[in-house]
A and B are shown apart, each in its own frame.
Chain A
Amino acid sequence: MALLVLAEHDNATLKPATQNSVAAARKIGEKADTSEIHVLVIGHQAVPVAEAAARIEGVAKVILADEVELGPQTAEILTAQVLLQLQAEHYSHLLAPATTYGKNVLPRIAAKLDVQQISGIIDVLSPSTFVRPIYAGNALATVESIAGAIIVLTVLSTGFDASPLRETSAPIESAKELAKDSAGVRLVGRQLASSDKIELTAARVVVSGGRGLQKAENFQLLEALAAKLNAAVGASRAAVDAGFVPNDYQVGQTGKIVAPELYIAVGISGAIQHLAGMRDSKVIVAINKDPDAPIFQVADYGLVGDALEILPQLTAQL
């Protein structure tokens, strides 16, 4: 039996989180008697995605299900296609990134299989035992899958270093059967942030702003700092709710979970829900005018002061 990883992509490029899910699959493989990893790419005109997936180290085979109906990648059609693949070959595990993509579709598949999914794993202890954060990361649960024909997991990228891309490629096969039924769901459209933006979850450095930045224009100060550091820009929920930045900037329990080398929190108080999304960063810097702000409790370096004065100085000195 092999392990199956569902690739996340936008029909044009493979999302790096897929490489972290492959890394989790490899870790399971090392502890199990099988380590053959297949990646399933479902979409339309997604050959470049399949080619990228075939180059991930540890991948033995890529299965490409390519058809116009699959293009929108709704949960309904993805579920149907994954179930076809699970019938075509036997798998011990099904994995996908714990991003909005994987979170949307994997539980649907798990329920169809009568399996209890284990969400957001950060470590593998045995082929059936995993560690996952609960309560906004204030506790870590060790969970064992004790029943079910397959183990279904979503993978937090922060727990596994991306499996690198190699020069050689694994073979790419076409799916023998294609799902057609989209359950009447129609994709009306997507409004996506520009794709040249550095992806939060893959960035080496993240600079995040909170309500303390006071207005949307002040995020330009943060953008300038980010440009100097080649960093991605993130935000607290309060900053998103205030309309300073779009929703996909949100870092936290219910936003994105990041663990960069360097995380700079500016004008962010440090609520439990925000800490949940960044506490595993290697080095944390906090800039806040309130010396008692809870963010300082997790910061390696704290600087008390007015962010609007500090940010231009910091950018200038880098």
Chain B
Amino acid sequence: MKLLVPIKRVVDFTVKVRVKPDGSGVDLENVKMSMNPFDEIAVEEAIRLKERGLANEIIVVSLGPAACQETLRTALAMGADRAVLVETDAELEPLAVAKLLKQIVAKEEPQLVILGKQAIDDDSNQTGQMLAALLDWPQGTFASKLEIAEGKATVTREIDGGLETLELPLPAVITTDLRLNEPRYTSLPNIIKAKKRPLDTLKISDLQTDIAPRSKTQKVGAPQPRKAGIRVNSVEELVTKLREEAKVI
């Protein structure tokens, strides 16, 4: 079984981004970039399926600028077999990404696509569901457990209020939640080995699909800052403040 894992290069999760004064976006100059944490979980899950003998090839794919090669190399160093970069400097909407991924799926014919449930930059939480829709495949989103047997995926999903378990016929799309696994660290020997693994680059035009934007970001602003609070010195003082000043209890 072939696995496809799309990954996105995003601002590292430890960075507190700043909005640009002109309102055109957030300042990404000299900011640390990493693989989207949920995508790391997706890569890890694919590797574990391969280690359990349930898959024989893992292809990672990223859509974005040339710098995404670095992200793809990280995935290769974790244990993916080969990488595809769809190189573009254009801002892609989740729908456009899903359409491009559909073309890659048509070429590679994986049985399972595993994606992160959301990218921590635009927080959209759409691409996996959209890809599933375009392929007409079933979807198992927000997975905290995944089992594959007899042509079926059994997925435990994190939902409001608890957990849900679904059985999906393959091929299918899975999106990962935080508790699916803990991604491994890459070791120096594996990083060196990863340099020799194939990384193909495609152009958007190679994939021939309509990716004209359907939405437009007019402005990016900073949220209203909270006004500075105070320190209280005792439980009594806290209770008094909550009763008499804030009037919330």
Interface residues, chain A, with chain B CB atoms under 8 Å away: 74-76, 79, 99-101, 103-112, 114-120, 129, 133-148, 183-193, 201, 205, 229, 237, 240-241, 246-248, 253-254, 256, 261-262, 272-273, 279, 282-285, 296, 298-304, 310, 313-314, 317-318
Indicate whether A185 sits within 8 Å of B138 (C-beta atoms), given known contacts A104-B129, A139-B26. Answer: yes
Q: In the complex, which residues of chain B have a beta carbon less than 8 angstroms from the beta carbon of A110? A: 95, 126, 130, 133
> Among B11, B123, B144, B216, which residue has the most Cβ atoms of chain A within 10 A?
B123
A302 lies within 8 A of B11 (CB): no
| A145–B215 CA distance with the chains assembled, in angstroms | 4
A-B contact pairs, 30 of them (CB 8 A): A100-B158, A100-B160, A104-B142, A110-B95, A110-B133, A114-B95, A115-B95, A116-B215, A134-B26, A134-B220, A138-B18, A139-B19, A139-B223, A141-B219, A143-B215, A143-B216, A144-B215, A183-B137, A183-B138, A192-B163, A248-B158, A254-B178, A261-B248, A262-B248, A284-B229, A296-B229, A296-B231, A300-B229, A303-B233, A303-B235
Chain B residues 206-230 with CB under 8 Å of chain A are: 212-223, 226, 229-230
Q: In the complex, which residues of chain B have a beta carbon less than 8 angstroms from the beta carbon of A285? A: 238, 242
Flag whether B164 is at the interface (Cβ < 8 A): yes
Residue of A nearest to B139 (CB): A75
A186 lies within 8 A of B166 (CB): yes
Indicate whether A108 sits within 8 Å of B238 (C-beta atoms), given known contacts A140-B220, A188-B167, A248-B159. Answer: no
**19 further A-B pairs in the complex, CB-CB below 8 A; given A107-B133, A272-B14:** A75-B141, A79-B133, A101-B160, A104-B139, A111-B130, A114-B95, A117-B124, A129-B218, A135-B17, A135-B122, A137-B223, A139-B17, A139-B223, A187-B166, A188-B166, A190-B162, A191-B163, A254-B120, A262-B249
| A244–B161 CA distance with the chains assembled, in angstroms | 16
Residue of A nearest to B225 (CB): A298
| A168–B222 CA distance with the chains assembled, in angstroms | 42
**Main SS class of interface, B:** mixed
Flag whether B125 is at the interface (Cβ < 8 A): yes
Q: Nearest chain A CB to B167's CB is how many angstroms away? A: 4
Q: In the complex, which residues of chain A have a beta carbon less than 8 angstroms from the beta carbon of B219? A: 141-142
Chain B residues 163-217 with CB under 8 Å of chain A are: 163-169, 177-179, 212-217
Q: In the complex, which residues of chain A have a beta carbon less than 8 angstroms from the beta carbon of B121? A: 134-135
Flag whether B35 is at the interface (Cβ < 8 A): no
Chain B residues 113-140 with CB under 8 Å of chain A are: 117-118, 120-134, 136-139
Flag whether B94 is at the interface (Cβ < 8 A): yes
| A135–B144 CA distance with the chains assembled, in angstroms | 23
B223 lies within 8 A of A146 (CB): no
Indicate whether A144 sits within 8 Å of B218 (C-beta atoms), given known contacts A100-B142, A183-B138, A254-B178. Answer: yes
B222 lies within 8 A of A108 (CB): no
Residue of B nearest to A103 (CB): B125
B214 lies within 8 A of A115 (CB): yes
B230 lies within 8 A of A107 (CB): no
Q: In the complex, which residues of chain B have a beta carbon less than 8 angstroms from the beta carbon of A134? A: 26, 121-123, 220
Number of interface residues of B (CB under 8 A): 82
Interface residues, chain B, with chain A CB atoms under 8 Å away: 11, 13-14, 16-19, 26, 38, 93-95, 98, 117-118, 120-134, 136-139, 141-142, 144, 154, 157-169, 177-179, 212-223, 226, 229-236, 238-239, 241-242, 246, 248-249
Residue of A nearest to B165 (CB): A188
Q: In the complex, which residues of chain B have a beta carbon less than 8 angstroms from the beta carbon of A103? A: 125, 141-142
Q: In the complex, which residues of chain B have a beta carbon less than 8 angstroms from the beta carbon of A314? A: 235, 238-239
Indicate whether A283 sits within 8 Å of B222 (C-beta atoms), given known contacts A185-B168, A300-B229. Answer: no
B123 lies within 8 A of A119 (CB): yes
A107 lies within 8 A of B130 (CB): yes
Q: Nearest chain B CB to A314's CB is how many angstroms away? A: 5
| A79–B138 CA distance with the chains assembled, in angstroms | 11
The 6 closest A-B pairs by CB, nearest first: A111-B130, A107-B129, A116-B214, A111-B133, A107-B126, A192-B162
